[in-house]
Structure 1
Amino acid sequence: MKRPFLTLVCIFTSLIVNAQGIPQKQKVANLETFTRLCGYVRYFHPSDEAANLNWDKFIYYGSKEVENAANQKELVEKLKGLFNPIAPAVQLIEENNAKPFDLKSISPPNKVGMKEITWQHYGLGSEGGFYKSARTNRGFKTKDPTRAEIGGASSSIKAEAYRGKKFRLKAWMRTDVKDGQGQFWVRVDREGKSYGFFNNMDDRPIKSKEWKAYEIAGTIDIDASYLYFGAFLVSEGKIWIDNFTLEIEENGIWNKIPLQNSSFEQADTQGWYTKSKGYNYATVKDDHVDGQQALLISDNSSYEIIKSIFDEKLAFGAYFTKPIGNGLKCMVPQVLLGDERQTYPSANANLLKELQQRMAKASPDLFDASDVYTRLTSINIAWNVFQHFFPYKEEIKLEWEKELPLALDAAYKSNTRQEFGQVLRVMTAKLKDGHVSVTFGQQNYYSIQADVACVENKLLISHADDTVPLKVGDIILSINGIPALDYFNNIKSEISGSDQWKNSNATRQFLQGYKDTAFTLKVSRDGKEQEFSFTRANLRKSPEQAKTRKLADGVYYVNIGNTEMKDITAMLPEFTTAKAIICDLRGYPRGNHDLISYLLTKKDKDEWMFVPKIISPDYQNVTYTGLGWEMTPKKPHISAKIIFITGGGAVSYAESYMGFIKHYKLATIVGQPTAGANGDVNAFVLPGNYSIRFTGLKVKLHDGGQMFSLGIQPDVFVNQTISGITAGKDEYLEKALALIK
């Protein structure tokens, strides 16, 4: 009797699947194949059509096209329809097909005037930055390497008279951008040189070619001193801005506040700061909204033809064959021949035009993460960046291929901007890169005036101002009813980096949240449980810390995190006669690494930073350009006993610093391992305006050993204790003092 019932169930299930479309697992598999092919063509196939493509819109449209392919044959048809107009030389074959690539298909009948064109990646770069991506023998946009990241125009008003009042800033903008964007912004500066309200439209960038009005609204902080506002161009392109108006609400009535030169009618942009290096500013009469003029901001990049950006390059005939899933492989030529006009073979112009029209019709002007195809597009782009350009996959034994289906599936299941941000953070946490960050919109930087430490597997208050009812040593039992360790570990799951960096970062984030959000803490104090309620109203102010101080006769303390080099230089006469100097580098240096020169006894020639030179996919066959600081000993030499305090919060520049201290044995290192994330940061922006940063080059110890995720190891380990924190002790400093005695 069971068999007919099971048969009916199977039939019914089949009908449900057919009614709903392609099963989720097949959709993800189709998108995996599409994602892999996108990366191979985008970064390693040098056709003009692919290089000039709007890849965001292409991937968005392509995701819609391929996800519902019912079988391999249909998927191949979809992929060919997408890629033939941009990469006619790329071939798709079945996985068991072993045929070689036919070079005749990319050999022009007449090679006169033809040059070899292939991709070179000095890291993953934008044109003109430290990291560069370019095709040989093709146009390359150059810019001053010291150019500002944004081209801004800003103005301000005194804000004391408007404290605690609601405001709204309105202005008009239009743009002409490809990879760039325009944004308006407002910031309140508070007394004491701290910041209050801030909004820079990071969650709604402007790319419209048409004039449109935009608004930023909020409440001016109760201790405000100035309100700054303006607009800026990110990266390259042009923006036009006009007609700024500021209104303040008083007794239910919105009053217009006078602004100087609000429509740019006065000469020389009077009343505005317009000095971003690498950008041009001009008032224009032929394109405006209000009055007779508007302000045009444009970048001043220029093009030049380059032969190559480094020596390593492939020759004509180079190609690769890679599996892309669904029983398919792609055969991708890496070098094409081309003249000044076109790479060979050129795509069918009609097919390309039709593809571009379909892309434009199917994709939005502004990507939003509430749209599943925006999320799928972002996963496609982000996964490929790390697949082909992340320098540390070997060091952490990363199986990045396994993360793609998980991330695509999670993209389907997330719905909001915040949820998808968490998907990206969980995905990038697998990289164990302390430089990785995923930012979007308003960030969780608001808190209360207290700090948290994780010690002996417990969360406790390590510092508290008089403005909060917490006490140092309070053991946190729960936050909003969630056990403290569970909440802490959930934060860590979205942080990329070593264990020591995760712990340092998660304790900093533990009390943070959106502005004006409420939370409760249950703590144990002297064996009794107490519960407190809080509102995150302000940014956390760092406790005051001394720069340099004399601890005893001949014994000095230097906080490397807040002492400028000029102050250290002024102390050199005392340091050269000192018995001992304790240097505290548990944070980020204040541009004072020249102190190392006064400790060195021989010239440094070490290369420990390595910029990848990438010409092949999947981060294979990579060569490097080695770099170092090339530091030279300076006089007067400091011969005192030196102790450096450090720990998991010392990251990046701090680790460059500590690398010298460790390798040249310039000091005894006390504390915990540093974060293990060093090297110039690279960054990219995803549709939906998610910004992702990561370590773009490979950094090693001076002796060639692994630094990534391991950090600089101390000579003397120190473990904080609950009793020590409760008693107000700095156990790191106490250990350093003990070593001096």
Structure 2
Amino acid sequence: MRLLLPFVLLAFGARGQAPQALSKQQEKNLSAFARLFGYVRYFHPSDEAQTISWPMLATKGSRQMLAVQNDAELIRELNNLFQPLGPTIRVFSTRQPVKFDPATLQPPGSAHATKVVSWQHQGLYTGKGKMYQSVRLNRPGTPGSTTPLAVSMDASAYAGQPYEVDLSWRRGKNSPPATFTITHRQLLGGTENRRATQQRPNQAVAAAGNHYLFSGRLDSAAQRLDLALGAPAGFEDSLNVTISAIVKGKKVKLSPVQGESDKASDKQTVEIDFTSPDLLAEPLFKEQSRLGDYVTREVAPGISCTVPLALAANAAHTYPLADSLRLNQLHIKANDRTKYPAEWARYQGERTIGLPEVRLANVIEAWNAMRHGYAYWGSATVTPDTLLHQTLRRAYRENSTLEFQRTLELMTAALNDGHAWAMHSAYSSRHYTVPAYLGKVEGQVVVLQVLTPRLAPQLRRGDVVLTIDGVAAEKVLQEQASRISGSPQNKEFRALLALADGPKDQPTTLTLRRGDSTLTVRQPRTMFTPNYQTGNLITAQRPNGWLAPGIYYYNLATMPETLSPAEFQTLAQAKSVIFDIRNYPGNGVYSLIPMLLKAPAETTITYNMDMLRPDQENIRYSPNVVRKEPGAQHLSGKMYFLTDVAAQSHPETFLGLLRGFHLGTFVGRPTSGANGGISYVPLQSGFSVSYSGMLVKNADGSRHHAIGIQPDVLVTPTLASVRQGQDLILETALQLAKSGK
């Protein structure tokens, strides 16, 4: 996207003085920390590692890495940061390797371990969405995303006083017959969400007719007490809760409040997690790490690490146990407000992107999700390590919100993935453009369609755009495309859609060539900048209907979940049907496939990424086989499907199945080449990134990513066809249908 948004800069404050570039030692420190961070977060299965706030650790670690002066200090600091999360994690000089000893994984003589805990990843779960899964085997499943109860209590009159939570529930008829472990956790003074001293991690209670009482003390700065109850999947019990402050030995019931507090720092949160030792996470696939499995990696030149991938455990703990004092020191506490402003500010909802450690932490989190979860590193412009170093350098140097947005855009652009975006909550949807569509025809930027009739005297189809606000259109196009991720055709398509975008109603000046004349048009930006799903809105719209005797045109963007009886009868009468899928249709299109099949068929276009080890080592791709049976209704005519770059993701799945089942002729241009589920990574200060986390191939096993589905008949529009308002792709399909080819 083109980010010409001066009002955004005002909203987030003036740009501070840019810091100096990273030194070689700082860059080495940060890259070593980044690699080890991902190994521990996603592949070391200790219970201690599940208690940490990973964004917080990324920020704290980044700040410390900036201060480390030499390799010896780096080794010491990395061990200090990560051994509290796993005592068997080791960082050492590559010249003096530390041999991994599996005996260190065994519990002490008095303890008894009966289970092996390890990670399985199918894709990589990054905290948002349900497309991908990450589970720790032999540990309770992740609590469900639903919140049966969430209340905020006014505690302003009782700061510093004891409080009591009285919780009861009765079992729903479909709840599993299991006991539940209840863990009480607090957010003290608006900072780190960590286990409180009054936790009872092993208290088992019956699942029906239960009553649970626990107490705590309100922080001296607390104005509110927020209570959230989360339950695992399948938990359908009825929950009731009473929260009381204790004043001079008497209970005073706290009342719910409406709305949000103006200051997030005035919150104190209690979370109660319902987990069940009887409802362990189900394995995602057969292969599992074994006790004694580990990885040794060089995280920076001359510095290596060893990280175990499986740990012995009983119902209460993984082994060996970490030093609780060192673990506690990793958590940011209320009295650290001055010492650690970045971490504190994170929980205040403040815009902290001006702090280098926050920007660096965002890069480290984003890069690790991509490093281990992105499906197409072979198609990227640079290697993962090069991308990490490039982005760390940019993030340290470019310290405004707008600059960091561009840093993330360049990071995702290097993936060459149409599903890779860099987003910010404040201006992700605030782009506007002139009410016209632009395209690239015969090597020139051209007006394809004018959407506002009153503009017709100023803009016409086929006008060649020479400059935009005084800058050559081709230069603007290349600059836009440089921050867009995807195939070459996808980069160009999306860059053209946003070529003239900017703040709402702000005029843009276009210099045009029309025949032998050159003219200048000044036009306000009044239309939302369209996204890639715009599709055949760019071409002349036409209603569904007969194009010639026996030949019917059907725009799949108009298709409901199922064809109506009248629509089916019409299509069944046609000798040929031209389906237009230069768009983003609904899921109803899949109901067409059984109507086109003559016999049962199966094909495979998507593959899950099954992972046990970091860096996608020994990754396994498990196929998702699609089997279809012929339907009761059948369309016997010859089928043509119109394609172009606007078909991305969901429509490419539909087209991929059609191609796999050999159900029609594709006419037009290549599709986008970006399919499979999207993985989203939430970051600090309102940022997020996304990428493709599933392998997709064409049905014949050939590469799909960044290439797309190739048409059987390639059609390229011309300047003459644009000026005459012709839809060459449709006209070509019509001619093929008439000839029966």
Q: TM-score range by the shorter chain?
A: 0.7 to 0.9
Shift of 1:526: 2.4
Match of 1:633, SS state, is coil
CA distance 1:103–1:472, shift in 2 (3 Å): same
Higher deviation after alignment, 360-369 or 422-431: 360-369
- Give the Cα separation in 1 of the matches to 2:316 and 2:582: 55
- Give the Cα separation in 2 of the matches to 1:498 and 1:150: 45
Q: Which residue of 1 aligns with 2:558?
A: 562
**Does the aligned pair in 2 maintain the 1:455–1:720 contact within 8 Å?**
yes
Shift of 1:432: 1.4
Q: Which residue of 1 aligns with 2:314?
A: 339
CA distance 1:569–1:36, shift in 2 (3 Å): farther
Alignment of 1:95 onto 2:68: no
CA distance 1:630–1:339, shift in 2 (3 Å): same
Shift of 1:322: 0.3
Shift of 1:96: 3.1
- Give the Cα separation in 2 of the matches to 1:478 and 1:486: 9
- Give the Cα separation in 1 of the matches to 2:36 and 2:238: 37
CA distance 1:149–1:122, shift in 2 (3 Å): farther
Match for 2:357 among 347, 355, 373? 373
Match of 2:508, SS state, is strand
Match for 1:393 among 367, 372, 377? 377
CA distance 1:279–1:667, shift in 2 (3 Å): farther
- Give the Cα separation in 2 of the matches to 1:442 and 1:368: 17
How do 1:67-106 and structure 2 match up within 5 A? 67-106=66-105
How do 1:162-561 and structure 2 match up within 5 A? 286-289=254-257, 302-305=274-277, 306=280, 308-310=282-284, 311-357=286-332, 361-362=339-340, 363-366=343-346, 368-394=352-378, 399-440=383-424, 441-443=426-428, 444-464=430-450, 465-468=452-455, 469-539=458-528, 545-561=541-557
Shift of 1:45: 1.0
Shift of 1:22: 9.5
Higher deviation after alignment, 28-37 or 131-140: 131-140
Alignment of 1:675 onto 2:675: no
Shift of 1:419: 1.3
Code of the aligned partner of 1:422: R
Higher deviation after alignment, 684-693 or 311-320: 684-693
Match for 2:572 among 572, 576, 597? 576
**Does the aligned pair in 2 maintain the 1:143–1:302 contact within 8 Å?**
no
Higher deviation after alignment, 392-401 or 722-731: 392-401
Q: Which residue of 2 aligns with 1:160?
A: none
Deviations 1:237-259 (A, max 9, x none): 579xxxxxxxxxxxxxxxxxxxx
**Does the aligned pair in 1 maintain the 2:434–2:524 contact within 8 Å?**
yes
Q: Which residue of 2 aligns with 1:700?
A: 697
Q: Which residue of 1 aligns with 2:12?
A: none
Shift of 1:55: 0.9
Shift of 1:703: 2.3
Deviations 1:364-420 (A, max 9, x none): 332522222111001001111111111122355851111111000000121221211
Higher relative contact order (CA 8 A, sep 6+): 2
Higher deviation after alignment, 540-549 or 448-457: 540-549
CA distance 1:637–1:119, shift in 2 (3 Å): same
Code of the aligned partner of 1:471: R
Deviations 1:47-81 (A, max 9, x none): 22222210111110111111232211111122122
Match for 1:710 among 698, 707, 710? 707
- Give the Cα separation in 2 of the matches to 1:731 and 1:683: 38
CA distance 1:150–1:683, shift in 2 (3 Å): farther
Match of 2:602, SS state, is coil
**Does the aligned pair in 2 maintain the 1:21–1:68 contact within 8 Å?**
no
Match of 2:553, SS state, is strand
CA distance 1:712–1:390, shift in 2 (3 Å): same
Aligned residues: 609
Q: Which residue of 1 aligns with 2:182?
A: none
Q: Which residue of 2 aligns with 1:62?
A: 61
How do 1:595-614 and structure 2 match up within 5 A? 595-614=592-611
Deviations 1:674-705 (A, max 9, x none): 11111122212011221222222111222222
Alignment of 1:646 onto 2:643: yes
**TM-score, normalising length: structure 1:** 0.76
**Does the aligned pair in 2 maintain the 1:90–1:330 contact within 8 Å?**
yes
Shift of 1:36: 0.7
Deviations 1:604-638 (A, max 9, x none): 33232211121100011112332244222113322
- Give the Cα separation in 2 of the matches to 1:610 and 1:327: 37
Gaps of 5+ in 1: 1-19, 153-173, 180-208, 213-232, 240-276
Alignment of 1:686 onto 2:683: yes
Q: Percent identity?
A: 30
Code of the aligned partner of 2:474: L
Deviations 1:471-528 (A, max 9, x none): 1111111111111011111111111111111122112122322323332111112222
Shift of 1:331: 0.7
Shift of 1:724: 1.0
CA distance 1:149–1:719, shift in 2 (3 Å): farther
CA distance 1:50–1:453, shift in 2 (3 Å): same
CA distance 1:513–1:432, shift in 2 (3 Å): same
- Give the Cα separation in 1 of the matches to 2:139 and 2:258: 42
Gaps of 5+ in 2: 1-18, 152-188, 195-220, 231-235, 244-252, 262-268
Match of 2:460, SS state, is coil
Match of 1:608, SS state, is strand
Shift of 1:341: 2.6
Alignment of 1:735 onto 2:732: yes
**Does the aligned pair in 2 maintain the 1:128–1:141 contact within 8 Å?**
no
Q: Which residue of 2 aligns with 1:11?
A: none
Q: Which residue of 1 aligns with 2:11?
A: none
Code of the aligned partner of 2:42: Y
**TM-score, normalising length: structure 2:** 0.76
Match of 1:84, SS state, is helix
- Give the Cα separation in 1 of the matches to 2:21 and 2:401: 26
